[in-house]
Amino acid sequence: MDNSKRDYLFSHSENKLFRRENGLDIKDVYKIAKTVVVDDFCHTELDSRGPRHDKMYCFKFNYINSDKTKQVLYKFKFRMNSDGEDIFVMTLHYPDPNKDPWTNLW
C-alpha cells in the first residue's frame, strides 16, 4: 500500500470513533479488516451519501477486545477519486439500535 496517499481508512469519521472507543491505532484497523470472511457477508446496499450511489458490501462479525465480544458492522466500497485513482473506502462501526438488524447471508 502506498502510504504517501491519503489514508481513507484512518481518516473516515466512523473509523475514528471506532478506534477511540476501542483504543486502536490504524494498524489495528487494517488487521480487523483482514479478519472478515465471506461467511460474515450480509448484503449490498447503495451508498446514499454521494452523487454516484456506489455499491457498498456489508458484513457483520464479532470483535473481541479486552475479553468483551461486540458485534461490528463493516462496510466497504471501491470508488474513483478526481485523479482517476481507485480508492478503497471502508467503515467499522456498531449496529444502530434504531435500525433493523443485519442478518448474515449464510
Please write the tens of the pLDDT for every residue from 29-84.
888 888 899 999 999 988 887 667 788 999 999 988 878 898 999 988 888 878 88
- For the residues of 54-67, what is the DSSP string, one character each? -EEEEEEEEEEETT
pLDDT digits (tens, 9 = 90+) for 78-99: 888 788 888 888 888 888 889 8
In our burial notation (b when 16+ CB lie closer than 10 A, e otherwise), range 79-106 reads: beeeeeeeeebbbbbeeeeeeeeeeeee
Q: Is the pTM of this model over 0.85?
A: no
Residue 9's contacts (CB-CB under 8 Å, 6 or more residues apart) are: 15, 26, 29, 30, 33, 88, 90
